[in-house]
Structure 1
Amino acid sequence: MSAFIDASLIDAAAPVRSPVQTRQAARFIDGKHTECLVYGFADRIMVLVTDSGKIGQMLSVSLETSSLVPPPPLGAEHLDLLPPSHITPKYMLGASNTPRGELGQLYAVHIASLVASQNPDEARTVIVGLALSTNVRGYDYEDTEIMGAKERSRFLDVLELVAKCKVW
């Protein structure tokens, strides 16, 4: 009886490269090991940020520009810090009507803005999965201040981590 697979051909096969671009980075943010995984598919960019090994809340952000959005007024250089007004997140998983949900929207919009600012021709939808601990050094998502000094620091560190995983 002949072998079903010719073993001599297995070693000769060239490694197949995945059509999906993948980048990964990790660092300690506020004492928690935080990972970022970014996948570049043909029609979407998926960004996963976690300090718990979970996917967490998921949001979708379209980068397609709208012709209905007026350009910023001349002399509005300070508006460069704000995300473009046409970038709107849509919840796929998770609660959007909580302080944590609002914070997730903020992260998603700024991650999508980072992609758009680094590649203005990028039109793929950005999917953001965000699973960050809720009680790191006193974070309180039920507090009225969503973006306190501690969260602001973590926010900037997360954006820096995402920027290291560029697939756009």
Structure 2
Amino acid sequence: MLNSSQACIEINGIQTDLLIQPFADRIFVQVTQLGKVGNLVQVSIPSTALLTSSGVSNSSGLALPTPPAAIQLTPLFGSASSEHLRSLHSLYAAQIATLVWCAEGQAPGPDRRSVIVGIALRPSMQTVEEGFDGHERKTFQGIMQALANMLNRVA
């Protein structure tokens, strides 16, 4: 069973606040570098979908579980100002929810809780035509590592 947890860490020189708050029917995860909730996205998957905790290791050695193909992202509040930010927020929401589900060891079934992700990130100063820049990659890796550590402590 997941417990509440919060942390304030520095990633790429930016203060980043993280919060995990479980509720009976959902789990709320907040990632903010701006001191506000930002965009809210609900992440769910069908009750029959299987989760695997195996994933691909990145350059920092962090092995992230692969989000399931059946994942469903539903914007609740707020919207990103560009297609690039929408893609980035979707990536964060899917990966965060997958980390939460794997930490809980949730088997398929109707009791699997949806994850609500609040994302408010400081925009990168670099502009990238396609893909994500190095700053965004380092920020993503740092946040996922911190959340994985928090989930391992509270799960």
Partner of 1:103 in structure 2? 88
Partner of 2:59 in structure 1? none
Question: What code does the residue aligned with 1:107 have?
Answer: Y
Sequence identity of aligned pairs in percent? 32
| Number of residue pairs matched by the alignment | 139
- Cα distance in structure 1, aligned partners of 2:15 and 2:131: 22
Over 3 Å counting, the alpha-carbon distance change for 1:53 and 1:107 in structure 2 is same
Q: Name the TM-score, length of structure 2 as normaliser.
A: 0.76
Q: CA deviation at 1:153?
A: 1.1
Work out whether 1:121 is the aligned partner of 2:106. Answer: yes
- Cα distance in structure 2, aligned partners of 1:89 and 1:63: 9
Larger gyration radius, structure 1 or structure 2:
1
Structure 1, unmatched stretches of 5+, are 1-19
- CA deviation vs aligned residue, 1:82-127 (integer Å, no higher than 9, x gap): 3111222111122366211110000000001111222331611100
Q: 2:18 aligns with which of 36, 41, 51?
A: 36
Query: Residue 98 of structure 2 aligns to a residue in which SS?
Result: helix
Q: Name the TM-score, length of structure 1 as normaliser.
A: 0.71
Partner of 2:147 in structure 1? 162
- Cα distance in structure 2, aligned partners of 1:104 and 1:64: 21
